[in-house]
Structures are given as C-alpha cells and as structure tokens.
Amino acid sequence: MNKPLDLKELMVDRAALAKRLRQETSGEVMTDSASRGRYATDASIYQAMPVAVFVPKTAEDIATAIQIAAELGVPVLPRGGGTSQCGQTTGAALVIDNSKYFRNILDLNLDKAYVEVEPGMVLDHLNGSLKQHGLWYPVDVSTAGQATIGGMAGNNSCGSRSIAYGNMVHNVLGINAWLANGQIAEFGNYANSSGVAKQLGDFVKGLATTLQPEIETHFPKVLRRVAGYNLDIFHPQSELPYTQDGSVNLSHLLVGSEGTLAYFKSLKLKLAPLPKYKVLGIVNFASFYKAMDSAQHIVKLGPTAVELVDRTMIDLARSNPSFKKTIETALIDHTAQTPEAILLVEFSGEAHAPLLEKLKALEELMGDLGLAGSVVPMPDANLQKNLWEVRKAGLNIMMSLKGDGKPVSFIEDCAVPLESLADYTQALTDVFSKYGSRGTWYAHASVGTLHVRPILDMRRDGAQKMRAVAEEASALVRKYKGAYSGEHGDGLCRGEWISWQFGPKITEALAEIKTAFDPKGLFNPGKIINPPKMDDASNFRFPPSYKVIPLQPALDWSAWNVQNNPVTEETSAPGTGGDPAMGLAKAVEMCNNNGHCRKFDAEVMCPSYRVTRDEKHLTRGRANTLRLALSNQLDMKDESSQLGSDAIKEVMELCVSCKACRRECPTGVDMAKMKIEFLSAYKKRVGHSLRDVAVAYLPKYAGTISSIPLLPALLNLRNHIAPIAKLQEWIMGISAQRSLPIWKSKTFWSNPKAITPYQYSADELSKQKGVVLLADTFNAYFEDENLMAAIKVLTAAGYQIHIPHKSQSKAANTEQNTCSKEFCCGRTYLAAGMVDKAKETLGELVNHLAPYAGKNIPIIGLEPSCLFTLKDEALVMGFGERAVTISQHAQLLEEFLANEVKAGKLNLNLKAASKPVLFHGHCHQKSFAAVTPAMELLKLIPNAEPKLIESSCCGMAGSFGYEAEHIEVSKQMAEASLLPSIRKSPDSWVVADGTSCRHQIADGTQREAVHIAKILAAHL
C-alpha cells in the first residue's frame, strides 16, 4: 500500500530540480516565492506552496520533467486552468501548467464524431472550432471559458446538461498518458488493449471481480458520483452506462483520478450534434419544497437541463437595473410577490415544433401537479440566452460578498436521488440555520445536485462549523442514498469522505490501484489516497494564523474593510472590518481564484493574459501576488516595502489599468485601482523617471508649449526625424516606433475669448437647459476639433454650455497665457503613481463642479479615461459626498444624448451616412457600460448600420503603448481583434472615443478614427 507522504516534511533540492529542468528542457521554470505562490491556490479554500512551477513547451519537456522529478523524489502535479473547487490543484509538488502550450486539436473525425486534443485545450475554444461542423463537446461546465479538457477529465467534470449527455466519464473515448515511470500508455477499449494498459486493466478487473458485492452495495446509483476511482467500470453502477455498447473503457479509470494515476498526454472525446433548436419553460413556484419535489416529475419529459434559481437570487437580479428586465421575463406576474424558486426547464432538438409540444406537456404536467398557469414558455432564443446570463450573474453577485465570511464550497455538490431532493434540501437548510448560516440554492435540479454554500469565516470558527455541517450533510446523503462528491471532485476537501462513502475494502482497493499505477506516489500525493482532514488548517489559504501587515494605502479602501452577517449577508459600516491594511488587503482577498479572468470572450478582461497566457499577467495572478505580499508570505525581509516590491512590479508591469476586471470579475477585483496603490508605493521607493514626470505633468506644461511660437512645430519634428525619436527612446524610454500626438499652436484654449460664451455660474445654468462640458487636456490641446464638434452638437440641440476654466470669474477676457488655468482630472498623475498630486488637481475640479452637480446639471466629458475618473477614483480620494454627487451627474457625451433621446427631450434629426460605421469602445467606457448608448446614438444616423468591434483593450492604454519596453505587447493587444476588424472594413468610418485608441488605430492601420462628437456633428 502507498505510504502516506508527509508533504510538510518533504525535503527537496529545489535548486537542483530547477537546474536540471533548465538544462534538459525548453520549458519555463519558476522557483521564486511569488511565482510559486501564484500556483499555490485554486478555487478552493486551500493553499500549498509548490516546490517549483514548470510550463512545458513540448511533450518531450513533460516526459523529461516527470523523469527528473522521479529521480529527485519531487511529486508532480499536472494543472490546467486551476479552477478546481476542492484543492485538487494545490500541492507541494512540481506543478506543471499545461494551459499555455498544449492547446491543439490533434485529430478531428467528423464521420465518427470524435476529436483528439491536448490536455490544455479549453472547452470553449474546442467548441468554438467544432461549431462550424454542427458538433460540440457537451460536458458544459460553468467554467467553460477556462476549464481545460485535461482538468475536466482529471475531475470527471459535469455540465448543466449532464442529464442528457452524462459526465466526462460518459464522454471520453480514450486517453494517452505518461505513467510515473515515464512510459506512455494508451487507455481505451479494454478488449482491444495491450501492453502496460492491459496489465493495469487486468489488475483492476481482478480487484473489481473480488469486490463486486462491495461495489454494488457502496457505489451510489446516481449519475452524479465522482468520488474515488471508477472501480465500477467493470460493474457499472451509474444511472447512465459509461459506454453505449456496454464495453469497458480503461480511460474511464483515469477520468476523475485528479492527476494521481497518470499524466494525460492526449484525450479522445466523443462529440454530439449541436442541437438546432432550444426552448425554455420557466416554472414559477410559491414554495421551494414544491420546486424540489417537482424536479423528479419534470425530468420524465426528457429535458436537456432543469436548473434552479431561488428567491434570493431572483431578488438580487431584480434589484439590479441591468438584470431586472430580463429576470422579470421569467416571472408569471412581476407585480406579484417574488416566487420562492423558478426552474429553468430546457428542451432541445433538431426541429422546433416537437419542442413546442414539450413546452405544452410541461404546462400540462404542472397543471396535474396542482400548479396550473405556473409556466412561462420562452421559445425565443435571445430571451433564453439573456436569462441564462442572469442566472450566471446572480451567482456572481452572491460571490461578491465583502468581509471575511465567504460562501464556502464543501458540500455544494452532494447528489441525491430526485425523489428525495425536497426532503434533503429542507433538512440541509435546517442544518445551516442550526450553525448560524444560510444557503442560497442554485443549479442542477435535474440530477439532484444543488449548489449551496454556507457563509463561513475560515480565519475564525469556519473550520469547526465546516466539520459540523459536513458531518450532518453526510448523514443526510447516506439517508437518501446519494453521493457525497457529485461534481467538483475530492481534492483536499472530500478525500477523507471517500472511505466514508465506499467502506474500507473499496478504499483499500483504490489504494492498490494507486500503487499499481504509481508505486512511488509521484503523482499528486494526498489526493484520493491518504488524504488529509478537510479541516486541517495548515492547508488553508486563510488559516487562523493568517496576518495582514499594517499599512496606510494612498486611496480609501474602507468600503472593503467590513465584516458580514452570515445569515442576512448585511455588512458592517465601512472601515470597521479590522484590516491592518485599511481595507486594501480585504479588497485583494476578494479574489477567490475562480479563474474567470482567464477568458477570451467578447469582453475585455484581461488583455495582458490574452496576449501572454502567463499566470503572472492575469488578474488572478496579480491578486494572489498582492495577497501573499500583504500577508508577508513572500520571501522578503522588509515588511514596509512589500506593496512596492519588485515582485509586485513584475505582475503589474503589463496591467494596462483597463478597469475590465472591476466590471467583469465576479467578485469585482479592481486591479486598476490596486495598480495605483502599487505605483504609489513603488515610486516612493525608487523615485520617478523622466518619462513619469513628462507624462504626469503634461496637463501642466501643454499650454506653455502650445503658446511658444514655433515650439510645437519644432517638437513635431521628432515624428519625422528618426534619430531624434531614437534619442528620445534612449533618454526617456518612449518608443521610437511610435508617432507622438501632434502639438498645435492653435488649441482650444489659445483664444480665451472663444470660451467666454461658455462661462456660467451653477445658478445661471440651472435656470436654462444647461450642461457642463469638460475640456480635457487631450482634446483641448491635440484634438480641439472634437470639442468644437461637441459644442456644435449640444448647441444645435439647444443646450447652454458651461466649460470649466479657472479664469472664468476674473480673467476670461484677458489675453494672458492661460497655461495651467485649466482644470484636470489628475489621470496622468495617477498613471505615474503621484497620488497626492492627483488629489490636489482633481480636488480643484471637484470643488468647481460640486455646485453644478448640486443643481443636477449634467457633467459631460469626451475622453472616457478622464470622465470616468470622476465616477471612479474620485470616490476613493477623500472628497466626501461632493464627489458622490458629481459622479452621479458625470457622463460621456453619448450617454447624455442617448438618454435625452430616450426621454423624448431631443430629436437630433441627422443626415444619412455615406458609409457604414464601425465602433470601438474604450476600456473604461466598457467598464462603465457606456458602449450601448454610443451604439444607440449611432443608430440614429440613417444608413450608418453601426457595428460594434468585439475587441479587448486597444493596447495603448494611456502611455503604456508608447513605452519602449511595452510596444510589442501593445501591438499584440491591438492585433488580437481590433486592428484586423478595421482592416476587414476598408470603407467604414471608424469611431473611437479614446484618444489613445484613435492613436493605436492610426499607427496600426493608417486609418483615421474619429470621436463620436465629430461624426454626429458631420451628420447634423
């Protein structure tokens, strides 16, 4: 039997391991504490420092690494997206990340409907390429954008539609894998197997034959059982047979083995036809119990999914303006009380008509069950899509609970037979309240696997409560003959429950299987075999000994510095959470490692990961590094320099402060603000460079430059004389490959008299149809035509405009140089880490705007990064209520105009466009949901047919794209989708509101992109 391996006492020569890996492979080797720390966690509550991290480039690299690790006695832990919820992917081992380089389809057979892929292939990417063939891989896990096929097989993952398609084990046809001795074995149909695979198969068959009565007694009969190894392949116990023809497939033994038996090299998968049509019937229930009780009857109609959303989640969605309308499409009567639960019942197939019949059958069934009129039929595909999105977002809102108590996943995938589901959920709810917590229920009612997470504080009494709840939940699972581990695997959390589930004989047999495959216990020790206790605090990410270093952040993070009530989920007053880092640490700790930032969908997060695929250039990697630094877990002696350390610089280097994570991260991790904190601390340590000063003080000196005769022309020579650009690159680090914005001697401010008509006090303006228009540095000095266009549009629409300017009260009519008389949002200072200077500058603007906001006058901006500073950073700089009021009135030009049109207060009456329009949204515009108004407005131009470019960050990101060391990454970001989309439409207008975006587009495509103000003005 496998000897228990004490991971804490594991003595390894890390240096020797790294040296050999570097010499003998082409992969990336990481041994520093920050890099290891980024691979120490997954989406569970656990943490274990890897011995080292290896990112192999070739299959030979993996084989060599396994061999070296075996020789040096270092365990090996294969890893995909690292999204496991039970700690499967944490361990004191050589962690090998497959997700960067092993993403290929190796073989696609359309006739036989199978595909063979490398283990790091992400499910969404696979399905994206299968779509054109009308096929898909139907194990649709919620983490489809991040989960790798290797990881899904490792965990025996299950999707929402498992009732129709089964789990991973039902959909894997074969696995080629390295064994612990480095040998490659082919696992597939047992009858046709040979060599070492056959020998191992024979051995397991022997065990299974001996233990047949035990298997029949102890293996739960439910579809959702993923604990231990699938010893039942020889005597199948699952509701759904593992193979269609009843044959035994040896690869199924590896599915669910959590990296403990073999290292997958490639996986052969069974594909399914992509359903042509889907319909949804949403059943509304006044009683949660009734909803649970109905699931057993509904599944008899043959749905492809039955998903639960409970009242808490419905209410959360209804209270959110973005989701209210959509969730109410699911309700029978949105004026009545919220139902206790809804079930989303999906039917899919090749033709629409039979599905409509199914919907009718559902309505009849509910009538028979005493719930006539409880079904909302939803045949429309778009409405269905929106509703599924809300279901996902509801979970995200729940996960964003601030404070140390967090919804903890440890019994959230127990599976019980459907006839017991109602009693089980009722009993478990009682258990939660007994321990002072509460659960929100959601997910897979069709297969008896309801997700529920009680809120526990692992730093305090969470571990004790977890044990107590788990004990009671397990008794319920046993009572109802269910499976304790029904979806998310065993890992560190449920390993100890394997023997509880299967009894001693099967547990012993599982250990024998491990020994037969991996005699020295090389692969992922401590998982499935010899697991630790689930509540062993030394494995926790937040053990009771977890301590945050005291520090005074530059911004106000008190909103995160709170605690919560596990039953009501109410949070305490800002600043009362007891965080020695004044809320910054708690904000960082919001990252629960779910890996959602590893996505490549139509949104923005996270541009630096999209081009590098490096964990350190990912929001999660950044948050983890910050967390380790703020809790003094990186090898650094000086606590005071943790935040501004080189380790943090390394992860922040490519963060473009796009603010996408602020919106798209399920828990709202706001890395752009955290980068400001880092920059502030880092620059205090190392000082500011000439480039920092040049960028930061641009708003201060722009006026002087433009007002000195010939100086603008002289400076512009830099764009035409290569050696000057080279010299500037050498001195300041501004890339010679970039053109710089063109200086002008005639700017928006150069004739102070020109702005005289636009000077009003708040009182005067409030008596008219008035707006404040911000003239930001970039538009005023480099693209004044945009401001002129905005004035033209607003004036044509009948608005009186006030343009903030410091000279308005006394010197508006003088001819004096207006340098530094302009207000500024302080963004350039923030980008350089000069927070005090930003506060001073932005404070002046806030003082000026407060009276206007106080009179409810709209505050309009053209440059998204400047305008949204008022809605974002201004709120954490200590300006108090004034900043909040201003933020409520601050908006982009298009937001203002689109709202006015909607309210029937404005008719722009625009001329027809001569060519179609392409629109690229600035990242901050996307982050504040201000792209839709721009599109709405563009649609008002006849024939414009505006199309939104589905792009992430343009890569310019303020000064980032100008910086010599970042130019290549900047170009890669632009080339990911923005520039190719523009090149594909040579005859379109390109509209982009960000000055940097327009610059990137001009540099990369030699096309002029225009601000929306200009295109509107041109069509007046």
Ligand X SMILES: Cc1cc2nc3c(=O)[nH]c(=O)nc-3n(C[C@H](O)[C@H](O)[C@H](O)COP(=O)(O)OP(=O)(O)OC[C@H]3O[C@@H](n4cnc5c(N)ncnc54)[C@H](O)[C@@H]3O)c2cc1C
Partners of 285 in the β-ladder: 341
Residue 960's region, left for phi above 0, alpha for psi from -120 to 50, else beta, is alpha
Contact set for ligand X, span 754-813 (CB under 6 A): none
660 binds ligand SF4 (CB under 6 A): yes
Size, binding site for ligand X by CB under 6 A = 36
Q: How far is the CB of 624 from ligand X (least distance, A)?
A: 15
394 binds ligand X (CB under 6 A): no
Among 63, 554, 661, 859, binds ligand SF4 (CB under 6 A): 661
- Through-space distance between the first and last CA atoms of the chain, rounded to whole angstroms: 82
Residue 211 φ/ψ, nearest 5 degrees:
-100, 15
Q: How far is the CB of 458 from ligand SF4 (least distance, A)?
A: 17
Nearer to ligand SF4, 250 or 973 (CB): 973
Nearer to ligand X, 7 or 949 (CB): 7
Among 90, 142, 446, 728, binds ligand X (CB under 6 A): 142
Site string for ligand X, 470-499 (x = CB under 6 A): -----------------xx-----------
Take residue 899 and report the two structure tokens written for it. Answer: 């709202």
644-679: b or e for each residue (b if 16 or more CB lie within 10 Å)?
bbebbebbbebbbbbbbbbbbbbbbbbbbbbbbbbb
Selection from ligand X, ligand SF4, none that 542 binds (CB < 5 to 8 A by kind) is: none
Contact 620, 591 (CB under 8 A): yes
Nearer to ligand SF4, 564 or 657 (CB): 657
Among 208, 606, 772, 831, binds ligand SF4 (CB under 6 A): 606
Contact set for ligand X, span 508-547 (CB under 6 A): 524
974 binds ligand SF4 (CB under 6 A): no
Nearest to 998, CA basis, from 830, 864, 825: 864
509-541: b or e for each residue (b if 16 or more CB lie within 10 Å)?
bbbbbbbebbeebbbbbbbbbbbbebbeeebbb
Where does 697-823 have alpha helices with state H? Answer: 698-707, 711-716, 722-732, 762-766, 777-781, 784-796
626 burial level (CB within 10 Å; 0-12, 13-18, 19+): buried
119 binds ligand X (CB under 6 A): yes
Give the list of residues 6+ apart from residue 757 with CB closer than 8 angstroms, or none: none
Nearer to ligand SF4, 218 or 391 (CB): 391
973 binds ligand SF4 (CB under 6 A): no
Nearer to ligand SF4, 256 or 955 (CB): 955
Instruction: Find tokens 């053209």 and name the residue.
Output: 862
318 binds ligand X (CB under 6 A): no
415 binds ligand X (CB under 6 A): no
CA angle at 864 for the pair 862 and 867, rounded to the nearest 5°? 75
Q: How far is the CB of 429 from ligand SF4 (least distance, A)?
A: 27
Site string for ligand X, 241-280 (x = CB under 6 A): -----------------xx---xx----------------
Q: Are strands 859-861 and 890-892 parallel, antiparallel or unpaired?
A: parallel
- Amino acid sitting at position 770: G
339 binds ligand X (CB under 6 A): no
CA angle at 165 for the pair 161 and 171, rounded to the nearest 5°? 125
Sign of CA dihedral 240, 243, 248, 250: negative
**Using CA atoms, how far apart are residues 264 and 252, in angstroms rounded to an integer?**
12
Selection from ligand X, ligand SF4, none that 82 binds (CB < 5 to 8 A by kind) is: ligand X
Q: How far is the CB of 669 from ligand SF4 (least distance, A)?
A: 4
Chain centre to alpha carbon of residue 547:
27
Take residue 625 and report the two structure tokens written for it. Answer: 């590094």
Nearer to ligand X, 257 or 970 (CB): 257
Where does 757-877 have alpha helices with state H? Answer: 762-766, 777-781, 784-796, 827-831, 835-854, 864-871
Q: Which stretch binds ligand SF4 (CB under 6 A): 4-12, 261-269, 315-323, 650-658?
A: 650-658
Size, binding site for ligand SF4 by CB under 6 A = 28
How many other β-carbons are positioned within 10 Å of the β-carbon of residue 544?
A: 14
865 binds ligand SF4 (CB under 6 A): no
Report in angstroms the alpha-carbon separations of 439 from 398, 434, 442, 751, 843: 10, 12, 10, 64, 44
Nearest to 317, CA basis, from 442, 407, 408: 442
Q: How far is the CB of 195 from ligand X (least distance, A)?
A: 19
Chain centre to alpha carbon of residue 666:
6
Nearer to ligand SF4, 144 or 362 (CB): 144
656 binds ligand SF4 (CB under 6 A): yes
Nearer to ligand SF4, 44 or 249 (CB): 44
Nearer to ligand X, 138 or 577 (CB): 138
Sheet of 859-861: strand order equals: 800-802, 770-773, 859-861, 890-892
Contact set for ligand SF4, span 664-693 (CB under 6 A): 665-667, 669, 671-672
Selection from ligand SF4, ligand X, none that 176 binds (CB < 5 to 8 A by kind) is: none
**Using CA atoms, how far apart are residues 500 and 487, in angstroms rounded to an integer?**
17
Partners of 29 in the β-ladder: 54
Q: How far is the CB of 586 from ligand SF4 (least distance, A)?
A: 14
Q: How far is the CB of 597 from ligand SF4 (least distance, A)?
A: 3
85 binds ligand SF4 (CB under 6 A): no
61 binds ligand X (CB under 6 A): no
155 binds ligand X (CB under 6 A): yes
Chain centre to alpha carbon of residue 263:
27
Q: How far is the CB of 617 from ligand SF4 (least distance, A)?
A: 8
Contact 224, 162 (CB under 8 A): yes
628 binds ligand SF4 (CB under 6 A): no
Site string for ligand SF4, 580-599 (x = CB under 6 A): -----------xxxxxxx--
166 binds ligand X (CB under 6 A): no
**Using CA atoms, how far apart are residues 33 and 49, in angstroms rounded to an integer?**
8
446 binds ligand X (CB under 6 A): no
Q: Which stretch binds ligand X (CB under 6 A): 135-143, 237-245, 494-502, 867-875?
A: 135-143
Give the DSSP letter string of 476-519: HHHHTT-BS-SSS--TTTTTTHHHHHHHHHHHHHHHHHHHHH-T
Site string for ligand X, 583-622 (x = CB under 6 A): -----------x----------------------------
Among 17, 18, 43, 789, binds ligand X (CB under 6 A): 43
Partners of 136 in the β-ladder: 272
Selection from ligand X, ligand SF4, none that 232 binds (CB < 5 to 8 A by kind) is: none
Where is 1007: in which H helix or E strand? none
Selection from ligand SF4, ligand X, none that 98 binds (CB < 5 to 8 A by kind) is: ligand X
Where is 807: in which H helix or E strand? none
Among 27, 37, 50, 151, binds ligand X (CB under 6 A): 151
Peptide bond into 997 cis (omega under 30): no
Q: How far is the CB of 98 from ligand X (least distance, A)?
A: 5
Q: Which stretch binds ligand SF4 (CB under 6 A): 235-243, 615-623, 808-816, 999-1007?
A: 615-623
Maximum Cα–Cα distance across the chain: 100
Q: How far is the CB of 259 from ligand X (least distance, A)?
A: 3
Residues that bind ligand SF4 (CB under 6 A): 591-597, 605-608, 619-620, 622-623, 655-661, 665-667, 669, 671-672
Q: Would you tell me which residues interact with ligand X (CB under 6 A)? A: 42-43, 77-85, 88-89, 98, 119, 141-143, 147-148, 150-152, 154-155, 157-159, 258-259, 263-264, 487-488, 524, 594
